[in-house]
Structure 1
Amino acid sequence: MTATAYAMVSQVRRRELKTRIALAAFIGCTAWFIVPSIWPLIWFAAVLLTQALDWAVFSRFRRDPDREPDRAYLVLCCATTVLSVAVYAAISAFMWFQGGEVGRLFAMVQCAGGLLHVSLHMHHARPLLISAVSPHATYFFGLPVFSAVATQNWHELLIAIGCLLYMSHLVVAVRQSNSTTGALQTARDAEKSARRKAEVANAAKSDFLAVVSHEIRTPMNAVISAANLLRRTRLDSQQREHVSMLIDAGDVLMGLLNDVLDFSKIEAGKMELESADMIVRDRLSTVVRLWEPRALSNGVRLKVRIAPDVPRAVRTDPLRVQQILFNLMSNAVKFTRDGEIGISVSWTDGRLNMAVADTGCGIPADRLGQIFNSFEQADVGTTRRYGGTGLGLAISRKLAELMGGSLTVESIDGEGSTFVLSLPVTAIEGAAAQPVRPMEASGSLAGRSVLAADDHEVNRRILQLLLEPHGCRLTLVENGAEALEAASGQRFDAILMDMQMPVMDGLEATRRIRAGEVNGATPVIALTANALDVHRAAWDAAGVHAYLTKPIDPVILATTLAEACAVKGPEAEAAVA
């Protein structure tokens, strides 16, 4: 018998102490009402004393539930149980002999109830169960037998036989209860074990995704950045086509990687939504600018229709709306070889409805209900012909549902499909469009001093090739310790910081630079291949100005640096003054 079983019984007895005392008070009052005398009061006082003794003896299990009890202590616990139950059930003998027919009936009911109670609540520890059952069983069976022998009224033995039948049924019930309890405990243990394994597996999956994401983004940074740099050079038409193919392939690969990461976040319940104003026409213009050239290259027209009553601006998560539209447009362009693709926007009772309709191959009716499943596509040959993971629509529907909306589809095989995104949004009156400012990084970065820390030689070379044409002075270091040393002796307008580096990582270097005097106020921009939300949160805690992921987007990098330097400029002037 393990200590846990005794500790469990001890906890049950502690929780039910008030109930036992209240029940004893009720039984004593009832006994006094049937047989007015001082004995019920004396019995109740004895019950209080034995319950106090029971509390004191079992307190050791409550203080130290995992401690294995020695034999002497177990004997003491059993003896205390026998005493407390014997005193508690003694009122049955008083009522049997002094209460007449009503008292005898009351005594049998009280004994039967006591047997049921201890059987259900003390079966975890068999020695304690036997100690608690014995006094009740002695009174329950012994009183009618004693009366039958004493009075020679052998008919009372029938009561004893009935008591035996009751106790036999109770034994069966207790065994079944023990079996059920054991099965439940086994199931709970199995469930806990499975949960622990799932948590370990989920942590391993997250670690794996983080590592894979970092390891893929690092070489892809070199591939895509080199392709962008190559596109800036003088190329003939065939070479330019090859570079475009290289960049498009890189974008597809990064899209697949981002889909896997997004799907992982949604499944783990860690996808966080934002709330911001979205200019409806501006967001649609962004989608059209990206997909119209690709649609036209397939000979497909792209049309946008916005109903007159659609609000100019709404409050929602613009990034996720754009992500859903991108996925829908990606499918429409991918599967449409002639005809047109239409984007229709309407407004119905506080819901923004955005429909993407195409005249493509359509979806067979028997596959229509499965296309929103993870890793599902319309047929097994789709991946081979068109590529993709089958995650785009699954992610889009889950995002729509997280935003309180829906994503549905209607399709006719061979004629086309219509996907409808419906989102509950709040119309914003008088929201001003955010003008897209022209890229002026070249002038903004001219003469600026930038510190860049990255342990990868190719990445440092890419930064050099991307930023030096803008006229900035670039200081390159290989790890956080070198970045800290450089930042301690020279003022910089901005700092680019990688995350995973030898000697000292980027987070620690950023914290130490922030605590320094020379560049404590200098904007730090995280430029890393670690793209999970946990990494972003770590950088936010370190106090970075911006968070950029690899592969590097040359325009975003230059724009972000220019903004950071513009922030640094006034601060530096104030410091000098």
Structure 2
Amino acid sequence: MSDKEADLIKTIAVLTRKAQRERSARLEAEKLLNQKSRELYFAKQEVEASLFSIQEKSDQDTALIGLKSNLESILLEFNQNFLQQPLSNDLLQSLMDTLAKLKHVESSQLVFKNEQKTSHQANFSAGTFTQWAPHNKGQTTDSEYPQRQLIVKIGENQHTLGSLYINLSVPNNWLSTIEKQLFLFSNMISAAYQRQVLLDKTLAQKTRAEQSERSTKDFVAMINHELRTPLNGLLGNTELMIETRLSDYQEKLIKNMVQSGELLKVIINDLLDISKINAGMLELNEVAFSTLELTNAIQNTFAPQAAEKGLAFDFEIDPKTPENLSGDPDRIKQIFVNLIGNAIKFTDKGKISIKIDWHESSFRFVISDTGCGIPKEHLANLFDPFTQVNNRSNRLYEGTGLGLTICKLLVNEMLGQIALESQPDKGSSFTVTLPLAVTQAQQISQPAEFNYTDFDSLTVLVVEDSHINQTLIKMMLAKFNIPPFVVDNGQEAIDFLSDTEVDIVFMDCRMPVVDGFQATRELRKQNYTNPIIALTAGTTSTEIEQCKQCGMDDIVCKPYKIADLKAILMKWNPLN
């Protein structure tokens, strides 16, 4: 073999090996490419699967957040409704309807236990009801999720009022979040329910209290009439008897009757006053009044009583005291009367002292005595009702023990203060301070000269069902040369006045058949314009206002005296 051939063979061998190496490298590269392509494919599949999972979870989370947000909005809305409105069937049903309209919620139901004492119905429901499945079992529905049930108890302190049921189609992992929201609904319903029960109870108590108050006021008004009507006959007849010719023995008996009648009047007034105060019927009548007239009346009333017991009666009024004040002079006088009356009653020797002044923009009076005094241990409860230092059957002094209680209550009503200082065997001192407004002097007209003949031509009708009081007022009017017409009830008065003209009508308020209020209203409807004067035992402003509202022109309160009738006749005499 020649050298050329040998070189050629060698070159072919080298090229062949090179070709083999390149082919092997290409096959290896293709193999690696195939491997990497498979790896890339599988990696892409995993990425796509992860992205799908993330998107699905994101969608679920968004849906859950949306459902949670909707539940919170409903919770806020109905929480305000429950606070602003009474708990009602419509409100509870509206809550169930709103819950059932939520996406993923198939139905809702609120069930109260049968034993709940409530006016509300026991069952509220909304939505489409199917057989509910427990948490761990799904029921196939048109929804992409199985249908599940959540039950939340309503109540607290181990006292279950009922249950809230929600039927919904959601993933299992949503249930704990939704359940927490439903617990808030449970608390809201429970609080509203308990609040409504408390409100119902409070309203029922208020209704009972109002009924009791009305009954008490009606009873006080009735007993006021029933006590004052016979008292009117007793005191009126004794007043008439005093003016007749009597033997010394008869005069003594009549004087005893007058004293007993006046004591009975005080006791009745005290009992009725305390009843009115407790029933909330006490009303102050604030008017301008003269302090001089008030104090003169007090002095003229009690100076003779003190003198009769041999007691000195010192009465002092500071010149700086305003001449005219605004307040209820009758109630202020009642305080004076009770305190001075007690001072005289419990003082056997020495003196009674009354000092009146103007202190720190208040009307102040101090009533002192040198009587038996009060032990220190009794001072604290002396203003309690029916309290006396000696309540034994052998006590020296008579009375109900209501006078100081009434004084205290009246002072409180006037926003004032009452204080007591006392020592046994040395006496007592009561200080009353009333914040009253200073007013201008009032022009007071002087009464005209009175002559019985001024009433000779007056015609009067008396409407009164009590025959005793009929006789009494006839005899009192006879003092003024007036023979009145008399009928027994309001219907007879209406019939009588339909064809008979009179100048003045005295109308009792409480009578059988037709009472005075109804009769007066009927007369005013018939355009009867002459004065109608109420004869009433009612003394509260409410009862007096009732007289005015029905059309009565004026009032004479029982028990009345001849002077009271005289004042009314002079005021309403058409000749004046």
TM-score by length of 2: 0.70
- Partner in structure 1 of residue 294 of structure 2: 283
- Partner in structure 1 of residue 304 of structure 2: 293
- Partner in structure 1 of residue 556 of structure 2: 548
User: How far apart in 1 are the matches of 2:523 and 2:62?
Assistant: 81
Distance 1:457 1:268, change over 3 A: closer
- Partner in structure 1 of residue 162 of structure 2: 126
Distance 1:389 1:441, change over 3 A: farther
- Partner in structure 2 of residue 406 of structure 1: 417
User: How far apart in 2 are the matches of 1:406 and 1:53?
Assistant: 57
Distance 1:569 1:183, change over 3 A: same
- Partner in structure 1 of residue 334 of structure 2: 323
Alpha-carbon shift at residue 283 of structure 1 (Å): 0.3
- Partner in structure 2 of residue 479 of structure 1: 489
Alpha-carbon shift at residue 199 of structure 1 (Å): 4.5
User: How far apart in 1 are the matches of 2:340 and 2:227?
Assistant: 26
Residue from 260, 267, 271 that aligns with 1:260:
271
Partner SS, residue 479 of structure 2: helix
CA deviation map 1:229-256 (0-9, x unaligned): 1001012333223212211211221222
Alpha-carbon shift at residue 339 of structure 1 (Å): 1.1
CA deviation map 1:376-418 (0-9, x unaligned): 1222239943222211111111111111111111111111111
Alpha-carbon shift at residue 492 of structure 1 (Å): 1.7
Distance 1:335 1:78, change over 3 A: farther
- Partner in structure 2 of residue 221 of structure 1: 232
- Partner in structure 2 of residue 420 of structure 1: 431
Q: Which 10-residue stretch deviates more, 51-60 or 215-224?
A: 51-60
User: How far apart in 2 are the matches of 1:217 and 1:478?
Assistant: 18
- Partner in structure 1 of residue 457 of structure 2: 447
Alpha-carbon shift at residue 274 of structure 1 (Å): 2.1
User: How far apart in 1 are the matches of 2:296 and 2:568?
Assistant: 23
CA deviation map 1:122-144 (0-9, x unaligned): x975221x54999999747699x
Letter in 1 for 2:426: E
Verify: 1:40 aligned to 2:62, yes or no: yes
- Partner in structure 1 of residue 44 of structure 2: none
Verify: 1:505 aligned to 2:515, yes or no: yes
Letter in 2 for 1:462: L
Alpha-carbon shift at residue 448 of structure 1 (Å): 0.6
User: How far apart in 1 are the matches of 2:337 and 2:281?
Assistant: 22
CA contact (8 A) 2:384 2:405 kept: yes
Residue from 562, 565, 570 that aligns with 1:562:
570
Residue from 434, 456, 462 that aligns with 2:466:
456
CA contact (8 A) 2:220 2:276 kept: no
CA deviation map 1:287-345 (0-9, x unaligned): 12222222111111212101121111212211111111111111111111111111101
CA contact (8 A) 1:225 1:551 kept: yes
Alignment of 1:73-152 (within 5 A): 74=125, 76=127, 125-128=161-164, 131=166, 139=174
Letter in 2 for 1:345: I
CA contact (8 A) 1:526 1:544 kept: yes
Alpha-carbon shift at residue 210 of structure 1 (Å): 2.7
Alpha-carbon shift at residue 513 of structure 1 (Å): 1.7
TM-score by length of 1: 0.70
Partner SS, residue 370 of structure 1: coil
User: How far apart in 1 are the matches of 2:421 and 2:68?
Assistant: 79
- Partner in structure 1 of residue 478 of structure 2: 468
User: How far apart in 2 are the matches of 1:309 and 1:366?
Assistant: 38
Alpha-carbon shift at residue 69 of structure 1 (Å): 5.2
CA contact (8 A) 1:361 1:415 kept: yes
Partner SS, residue 524 of structure 2: helix
Alignment of 1:26-37 (within 5 A): none
Partner SS, residue 331 of structure 1: helix
Structure 2's unaligned 5+ residue stretches are 1-56, 75-93, 102-107, 111-117, 134-149
Distance 1:38 1:461, change over 3 A: same
Alpha-carbon shift at residue 54 of structure 1 (Å): 4.0
- Partner in structure 1 of residue 397 of structure 2: 386
CA contact (8 A) 1:279 1:433 kept: no
- Partner in structure 1 of residue 251 of structure 2: 240
Letter in 2 for 1:454: E
Alpha-carbon shift at residue 438 of structure 1 (Å): 7.4
Alpha-carbon shift at residue 273 of structure 1 (Å): 1.4
Verify: 1:348 aligned to 2:348, yes or no: no
User: How far apart in 2 are the matches of 1:423 and 1:457?
Assistant: 44
Alignment of 1:355-374 (within 5 A): 355-374=366-385
- Partner in structure 1 of residue 137 of structure 2: none
Residue from 495, 499, 506 that aligns with 1:489:
499
Larger Rg: 2
Partner SS, residue 386 of structure 1: coil
Structure 1's unaligned 5+ residue stretches are 1-34, 83-113, 144-162, 571-577
Alpha-carbon shift at residue 488 of structure 1 (Å): 2.0
Partner SS, residue 223 of structure 1: helix
Alpha-carbon shift at residue 278 of structure 1 (Å): 1.9
Distance 1:42 1:223, change over 3 A: closer
CA contact (8 A) 1:439 1:559 kept: no
User: How far apart in 2 are the matches of 1:142 and 1:314?
Assistant: 74
CA contact (8 A) 1:214 1:531 kept: no
Q: Which 10-residue stretch deviates more, 432-441 or 447-456?
A: 432-441
CA contact (8 A) 1:115 1:137 kept: no
Q: Which has the higher helix share?
A: 1
Q: Which has the higher strand share?
A: 2
User: How far apart in 2 are the matches of 1:375 and 1:48?
Assistant: 67
User: How far apart in 2 are the matches of 1:347 and 1:494?
Assistant: 44
User: How far apart in 2 are the matches of 1:469 and 1:404?
Assistant: 44
CA contact (8 A) 2:422 2:428 kept: yes
Q: Which 10-residue stretch deviates more, 309-318 or 37-46?
A: 37-46
Partner SS, residue 385 of structure 1: coil
CA deviation map 1:39-76 (0-9, x unaligned): 637953796599698445799999xx946356xx6485
- Partner in structure 1 of residue 530 of structure 2: 522
User: How far apart in 2 are the matches of 1:367 and 1:231?
Assistant: 42
User: How far apart in 2 are the matches of 1:330 and 1:58?
Assistant: 78
Partner SS, residue 522 of structure 1: coil
- Indicate the RMSD between aligned Cα atoms, in angstroms: 4.4
Distance 1:494 1:384, change over 3 A: farther
CA contact (8 A) 1:464 1:474 kept: yes
Alignment of 1:139-218 (within 5 A): 139=174, 198-218=209-229
Partner SS, residue 396 of structure 2: helix
Letter in 2 for 1:302: F
Alpha-carbon shift at residue 459 of structure 1 (Å): 1.3
CA contact (8 A) 1:383 1:389 kept: no
Letter in 2 for 1:535: E
Distance 1:273 1:383, change over 3 A: farther
Alpha-carbon shift at residue 212 of structure 1 (Å): 2.4
Letter in 2 for 1:365: K
CA contact (8 A) 2:350 2:370 kept: yes
CA contact (8 A) 1:526 1:539 kept: yes
User: How far apart in 1 are the matches of 2:128 and 2:122?
Assistant: 10
Identity among equivalent pairs (%): 26
Residue from 252, 274, 277 that aligns with 2:285:
274
User: How far apart in 1 are the matches of 2:512 and 2:463?
Assistant: 11
Number of residue pairs matched by the alignment: 468
